A and B are shown apart, each in its own frame.
Chain A
């Protein structure tokens, strides 16, 4: 990709992201009362992150099996509310250990 093409993408991406944040902060002076909109905006972040995580996580490492193990470790630790960084690092460690073991076992 040429850098000029990248800059065009960057401009659009940053522009939209900024406008979404800026316009309400400058224009809206009262709270959104509509219950449907409030509810919709409550669910959106969870739905977005869920869509991006599954099945993407299963293709995030060199082997499917190591990614599945990393996913399981993350789910278990997240269930026990261990925090962002511990969950992420333990998932990475699980993937690393699995991938170091794979050549020994096959």
Chain B
């Protein structure tokens, strides 16, 4: 079953055709990767899907609903979560608080309730605290719950970011270069966590530069080059695709 459908997506920056009629589907439950050399349009594509950029034309459907043109927070509310290439921890907040922010759409306390510290707010606060802690446990970083997140190692921050993104109970998780800035051990760890997330029944779409990570964990791969869709298939198909080899060797 198709969860996310990208159809004929286009984006220009001045004279540069950054994303050129790109189409592909993401099947429910899969880990799908978008790869390509620098400047292939991966990050642009990613931002178009998340609502960070406006597309020139094309369509993106999530769960058969069009999501193109929605604001980022509205897209988040439909059940899509994302992470950032340069991990964006909220400064001055502990790991736990970071994940609690991720639970924003799962809680309701408004300005009045919060200011008056109503009993309902107190119960809700307890619930989301417990839920956030459970997520940290799932990603094996519960021991850092009360440490300021931005002071931790990159690998740990990445795990917190995953927990934060999972907090909103997404059906689809978008990962923007999850291995960026990590060493090989941390990358392997992140790969393991991504499979663990898939086992929770969550579909994953990742944009990545690091081939080894992608080949190990993906069910399907899309290759982009210069904004165009070059190839699509299982990791072994992609590894034997002449055109893809050409692009990567030519880099």
A, B in one complex: no
Q: Which residues of B contact A (CB under 8 A)?
A: none
